[in-house]
Structure 1
Amino acid sequence: MGKVFLVIGAAYGLIGVALGAFGAHALRARLPADLLAVWKTAVEYQLVHALALLAVGLLLRQHGSAGLLQPAGACFAGGVLLFSGSLYALSLSGVRVLGAITPLGGVLFLAGWALLLLAALRT
């Protein structure tokens, strides 16, 4: 499972950098400032949690399938899809109701960090 999280983390990192550049160059002139700020938030959270996934992947490789690490990685991966994905969609569409999905991703991020903390305390 460590390899899976390493791959997802690296992919999220690659995509996050590309989307950050896209926002800075292609969207700057097309989006109002408030939606561009939403886009930047999505990119920032995606990149931070790409790093978290890389850490989980490395820890799994080092410690094997330690109980709480796999659920932590799943929470980070799902959190990026829901949190950042909903913010990207909101930015491009302007449909504000998509923001209702964002907190679900935030809850997954919090759960992932809590699980990672518990995993660290148990080792």
Structure 2
Amino acid sequence: MIITIKVFAALYGMLAVIFGAFGAHALKKIFTDDQLKNFETGVKYQMYHAIVLLVLGFNFNFTTTQEIVMGYAFIIGIFLFSFSIYGLCISSAKGKKIKFLGPITPLGGLGLVLGWALLLLNFLKL
């Protein structure tokens, strides 16, 4: 599990840099200001949580169910939150907004909140 956490940390961090550059250069030409702002929010949350995953990967053993669920909550939460925002922004810019992605974003947010809550519980046990 530790390797999985570190791999996703590196993958999500790398993709955040790529998507950030893509948004700042290529998408800036086709996005409205609101779409660009939303896209940047997805990139920021992805990078912040990639760093969280990296820190977790070096500080936890992921031997307990709580730690494992915490790791997956962050991994899945990042994917659902950020990637649904990317999909909404890009599809909206092309005039064919993929509406089913709208409710997925808050589910990703809940995953991130769950990850943080489990991290807090872990600290309170110490």
Q: Which structure 2 segments of 5+ residues have no match?
A: none
1:64-103 matches, within 5 Å, as 65-94=63-92, 95=97, 97=99, 98-103=101-106
Inter-partner Cα distance in structure 1 for 2:33 and 2:98:
15
Q: Is the 8 A contact 2:77 2:107 kept in 1?
A: yes
Q: Is the 8 A contact 1:60 1:66 kept in 2?
A: no
Inter-partner Cα distance in structure 1 for 2:103 and 2:84:
8
SS in 1 for 2:26: helix
How far does residue 66 in structure 1 lie from its aligned partner after superposition? 3.8
Q: Give the counterpart letter for 1:122 in structure 2.
A: K
How far does residue 6 in structure 1 lie from its aligned partner after superposition? 0.8
1:36-115 matches, within 5 Å, as 36-61=36-61, 65-94=63-92, 95=97, 97=99, 98-115=101-118
SS in 2 for 1:90: helix
Q: Which structure 1 segments of 5+ residues have no match?
A: none
Inter-partner Cα distance in structure 2 for 1:3 and 1:100:
31
SS in 2 for 1:68: helix
Q: Give the counterpart letter for 2:90 in structure 1.
A: L
Inter-partner Cα distance in structure 2 for 1:42 and 1:32:
16
Q: Which residue of 1 aligns with 2:5?
A: 5
The alignment yields a C-alpha RMSD, in angstroms, of 1.3
Q: Is the 8 A contact 1:84 1:102 kept in 2?
A: yes
SS in 1 for 2:30: coil
TM-score of the two chains, using structure 1 as the length reference:
0.92
How far does residue 96 in structure 1 lie from its aligned partner after superposition? 6.1
How far does residue 67 in structure 1 lie from its aligned partner after superposition? 3.9
Q: Is the 8 A contact 2:87 2:98 kept in 1?
A: no
Inter-partner Cα distance in structure 2 for 1:121 and 1:113:
12
Matched residue count = 121
Q: Is the 8 A contact 1:82 1:101 kept in 2?
A: yes
Q: Which residue of 2 aligns with 1:23?
A: 23
Identical amino acids, percent of aligned pairs: 42
